[in-house]
Each structure stands twice: as C-alpha cells, then as structure tokens.
Structure 1
Amino acid sequence: MEMDTRIPVTIVTGYLGSGKTTFLNHLLKHTEEKTALIVNEFGDIGIDDQLIEQTKEEIIEINSGCICCNVRKDLIDTLSMLAISRDEKVIEFDRVIIETTGLADPAPVVQTFLMDKEMVEDYFIDAVCTLVDAKHISRHLDQQGEAINQIAFTDVVLVNKVDLVTKEQLTDLRKRLVRINPTASQHLCESSRISPGEVLGIYSFDLQEKLRAHPDFLNSHHHSHDDEISSLALREVKPLNLKKLNLWLSFLVQIQGENLYRYKGVLNIEGKERRFVFQGVHMLFAGEEAGSWGDDERVSELVFIGKNLDKKSLTEQFQQCVTE
C-alpha cells in the first residue's frame, strides 16, 4: 500500500473557556513533532498567540472573524502557503493543528479539507478534538447550538477540569456526552493535561460516520452566532494599577459573571517587568506573571466574550484601572 505523504491535521475545538490554549501549550511542549499551529480568534485583538508559550512551532493567527464564517478563504490561503513553504523547505513541520474560536462549528472547517481540491491533495484530517469544561458545559449545552455541534462532530472529547465537579456530576455529564456523540472517545483531564498520543496520530476521523450523524454537512454552510453574543477588545499603552484591576474584575464577575463566557488578557502592570497574563470563565478567573516583555511594546490587551456586553461601561471601567 502506498504511504500517505499528505500532512495530518488535528482540529481542536471547544466552547469558550474550555482550556484550549492551555491544552495546546501542554501538547506542543510534550510532542517531538514539529507543528504548524493556526489560531483563530473571535474579536479584534489576538490574545491566544501571546498566551501560547514560545516553542519551535510556527504560529499563525487568523482573527478577522470566526473560522467557520467569513475567514474560510483566509484558512485556505494560509494552508496553501504552509504547504508551499514546506515543499520549498522554507519551514519544516510534521503536522498542522487548527485551534478554532470557541464559537465555531467544526463542520465547515472539516468541509474545507474535503471539498477543496488543493486541500485534499495536501492534507488529511487526523482527528477532531473537542475540549469541554466539566464545570460549565451543561449550561452551554442548554443554551448554545455551537457547544452541541462541537461535541456531536468530534472524534475525541477531552472532559477537562474534572477536579472542579463531583463524581455524580461527572457521571451525569459523561452520559449526556454519550447521548450527543456515542462514537467519540472520552478522556478525563485536569488543567488540559493529556498524553499527546491520545489526540495526535490517531487517524480517527471517519467521514462516513460524520455523514451518518450530519447528512447535510457537505452542503453549503449557513451559520450565525447568537446576536446577543459579542466580543470587546480593549487596548491601553499606559501601565495598569494591579490593585484597581483586581477590584474591578472581582466586582465585574460578581455582577456579570454568568454572562462572561470568556475573558483573557496580557497586561502591562505598573512596577512589573514581566507580562501579567490572566484568563477567566464566568465567575472564575486567575492571573500570574509570565514571560518578559523583551523588545515588545508594553501594551495591555484585554478581550471579553459574552452575552449582552455593555461595551461602553466596560471600556470606561477599564480606563479607571490606568495608573494615574
């Protein structure tokens, strides 16, 4: 049998705050293969490429919109560029990982690799991998079609943050996941830690199985996110006061935590020589000092994704955290 020389692709999806960036950091750190990573953001400012730790991997960011909507052409162009660069020995990589925004339905992303002639010649789908936040996923399954689609279309479900739920809650969740997708394998993990061998090089994508579950997915894709869900990108060149920032965020999550699906940022804190990175999901958030700024501009970038965001109020409150 002739060996398949095409490039394997792993599609990583999961609803907002499921732990995809942490998962990618862990995955890239513990695999010997060289990886080209394509990151898709929902919003005007890209944060994920800063949160992903510096490795030997090639990181490409697409943040002009959801990867399942208006940036499909950008995705194809990016993949074409990667294939050409690999053939010409400009860059070396063994596989591609695509991280979709938390609001993306993976079906049209998969569709790209099955219906575009150039993509079919250069790439094949290894697996679709979906992370779920064990603590918060149930409410999203009740409210958002994307969360259900991500699970229904996946090959591997990583049930993350299992340390934050009881055994009974975990059992109920796993049963619910099986009802949505009985063929996907399930792996339990904490802090997005899992062996790369469970998700890379597993060749588990089965088109016929996908067509049985979603018989119309190869048709033209029409997709719209909940109009109430939006993103807000904030940027500030002046240093921030850490005490004011903590007070604001603590107040914010108490008042609006249920509507804050995801918020994350890389911040320039007064008196600190290192970047301050923080991430949050609903009522839970944490921050820590990360890498040095080096020669990069010391600028704070913060992104909120949520329901019914009061953008004017959030912008004004953020400005009040600036050092006087």
Structure 2
Amino acid sequence: MPRTARIPVLILTGYLGAGKTTVLNRFLAASGAPIGVIINDFGDVNVDAALVAGQVDEPVSVAGGCLCCISDPAQLDQAFKKLTRPDLRLDAIVIEGSGVAEPPALLRLVMDSRVPQVRFGGLIEVVDAAHVPQAEAAGWDLEQHVRAAAVVLLTKTDVVTDPGSRKALEARIHRANPHAMIIEAPHGVFDPALFVDAGESEEFDFGQLALWNPGETPGESHSEHGHPHHHVHHQSVTVEHDGAVDPVALSEFALDPPESVYRVKALVDVSTSSGPQRFAVHSVAGYVTVEAMTRGQEEPLASSLVAIGLELDRADLHARLASVCLPTTAPPASAAQLRRLTRFRT
C-alpha cells in the first residue's frame, strides 16, 4: 500500500520507573527507521546516549530525527514543524511524556495540533505489572492513565509470580478502557510494525527486528538470562479493490474495528456525482483521521485497505474489509454519505 505524507505521532507515557525509557530505546534500536523524538521534562529522563543525544531546545540529529523539549502547545507545534522538514524523511515521531504527564492532556495537544504534516498515531501507556500497588500508593491512577491509551504495554511481567494478580490487572485495564490493546513487553520489547510502516520494502521482516538487542543478529534474540524471547508479532490483512468503497461502511469500520485490530490504514476512492475522490484514512484504536488526496483525472478507481493487529481472525477480517468495497454498478455516494467519512477530515 502506498504511504501517505502525514507523519504519525506516538505518545509514550507511564509513571517514573515503569520502563518507558527502556521501551523507547528498544523501539529506536529495533525499528531500523528514522524516528523523531520529543522529550518532555528532559531532566527526568535517562535516554540511552548512543541512541538519543542533544541539548534541550536545540534540535540535533538523533536516530534519523531530532530531539526537542516541550513545555506548552506552541512549543509542541514548533517541534512538529522542525521534525516534519522534508529533508528528514521521518517515519514517525515519538513524544515521551514525563512520569506525571496526564495522557488525555497530551492526546489533546497532538489532536489539536495545527501542523498539517502530522497525525495522531496512538497513545502507548507503559505499566510495570510487578509494581502497580507501589505506584498507586505514590499517587498514580491506573484507570485515569489507561483511559486514553490505544495500547497498554505491560513491562516486567517476567517477575510477576502470581498469575491471578496479572489477570486482575488486565481486567482492571479492560474495565477502564475496553478498547485498549494489552501487550506483554517484559524486557521493553514489542513489535514496532504495530505502530510504524517503516521497513515494508526492506529485506528483513520488520516484526522480526523487534526481537533483537543491539549487538545481536536479527532473529537470534535472547533475554537477559540467555533464554529466547517468545513474542507475538503483528499480523495484517490487506484487501485490494479495483473500484470505490462505501464511505459509510468504511467510517463505521474505522470507528469500531474488531477488538484484535490496532490500526486500520486505507487509501481509497469514493465515487461521487461530481467524480471520484481519493482519501487516506487512518484509524488507531478508533481514533480516526481522514485526508483528501490528489488523483489523476484519468486514473482508474482503486482502493487499498489494511488492518493490523495481533491474533487476527484473518478470514473474518478479510470478509469485513471486502464488504466495504462496492461493485462497479453501485451508484455514486450521496453528499450525506460522503460526510460520514469526511467529518474526520483534517
């Protein structure tokens, strides 16, 4: 599927000690992609100097991107403008929030950004599964922090000896946010392809890159104790269609995807009475953005839809994506039908 120009912005949050800096460093090391990083409260963060280095408020080359510090919305947009320069060719931007940052506030900052080159790519909450009671005793609120998350990464699950406590934790997360995807990341390792499209045309499988540590050969990853990691990779289902899509059906699918689906991305044509229109549609755990795209006047109708997640029911998902596609004999979408999709337009 062709990439669209807007850069996804991922928000990485979690209380101090939850492991989010380890997650960030693993993400930068494993992704093999140019990633921009925005760090809030730089003095509280200990990011691996081999991956991220620089002076606060002074953009520098970092893992293919830049490092800035933010303290207000205007500064955040300034950071976005710097990081979306065409010469940087970034695949994603990661904001690492401070340990006390409220996720809903960070999400609103990104969603309300006036920089047209960025789009919301998801909020990832890092939770130390072994020390939730200690964090809550110090004032951290689990329900408040996972409420806005698209993904909850559970770190240090390898040291949780009571399976019942982990199940109880997952149940609390689901009650607070039924739409959040919970992923175990005991050593801060997870599959970057759930979040970033980089590496689609590379020789290595992008999901496999998530398993290795710096200094190891991809595919030969081991834990700190010398035992192999066993992680579930992302899965994807793609439907290519030589025609237009139903804007109402697509908007409903993007708003409420199957529970196992984290991301939906689509480059689609919609037939209207004034001619076909092309849109790029992104959905992250039900957060939908739509962008109008240019298309040649003589270009044939073409639509591509991709759903990405974990443990997918591939046959059912393929059928649901295919049901969004229209036959060539279908009438053009009405203005009201088109508005169901374009209401998410940015």
- Give the TM-score taking structure 1 as reference length: 0.54
With 184-193 and 107-116 compared, the bigger mean Cα shift is at 107-116
Structure 1 residues 153 and 78 mapped into 2: Cα distance closer, same or farther (>3 Å)?
A: same
Match of 1:82 in 2: 83
Equivalent residues of 1:103, 1:146 under 8 A apart: no
- Tell me, which stretches of 5 or more residues in structure 1 are unaligned? 209-324
Question: What is the CA-CA distance between 1:142 and the residue it aligns to?
Answer: 5.8
- 1:150-204 Cα distance to aligned partner (Å, 9 max, x none): 2111000111100121212211111111111111011112111111123435342
- 1:57-108 Cα distance to aligned partner (Å, 9 max, x none): 324141xxxx6xx43322121112222xx23x2x331211111111111222
Sequence identity, in percent?
A: 25
Equivalent residues of 2:92, 2:196 under 8 A apart: no
Correspondences of 1:91-240 after superposition (within 5 Å): 91-116=88-113, 118-119=114-115, 121-141=116-136, 144=139, 147-166=142-161, 167-201=163-197, 202=263, 203-207=283-287
Structure 1 residues 138 and 176 mapped into 2: Cα distance closer, same or farther (>3 Å)?
A: farther
The answer to whether the aligner puts 1:53 opposite 2:54 as a matched pair is: no
Task: Tell me, in whole angstroms, the C-alpha distance in 2 between the residues paired with 1:46 and 1:134.
Answer: 21
Bigger relative contact order, structure 1 or 2 (CA pairs below 8 A, ≥6 apart): 1
Task: Tell me, in whole angstroms, the C-alpha distance in 2 between the residues paired with 1:137 and 1:74.
Answer: 33
Equivalent residues of 2:180, 2:285 under 8 A apart: no
Larger helix share, 1 or 2:
1
Structure 1 residues 188 and 47 mapped into 2: Cα distance closer, same or farther (>3 Å)?
A: closer
Q: CA RMSD in A?
A: 2.7
Q: 2:111 aligns to what SS in structure 1?
A: helix
- Tell me, which stretches of 5 or more residues in structure 2 are unaligned? 53-61, 198-262, 264-282, 289-346
Question: What is the CA-CA distance between 1:145 and the residue it aligns to?
Answer: 5.5
Equivalent residues of 2:37, 2:93 under 8 A apart: yes
Task: Tell me, in whole angstroms, the C-alpha distance in 1 between the residues paired with 2:45 and 2:149.
Answer: 25
Task: Tell me, in whole angstroms, the C-alpha distance in 2 between the residues paired with 1:177 and 1:52.
Answer: 34
Q: 1:48 aligns to what SS in structure 2?
A: coil
Aligned residues: 194
Structure 1 residues 164 and 15 mapped into 2: Cα distance closer, same or farther (>3 Å)?
A: same
Task: Tell me, in whole angstroms, the C-alpha distance in 1 between the residues paired with 2:190 and 2:2.
Answer: 32
- Give the TM-score taking structure 2 as reference length: 0.50
Question: What is the CA-CA distance between 1:50 and the residue it aligns to?
Answer: 4.7
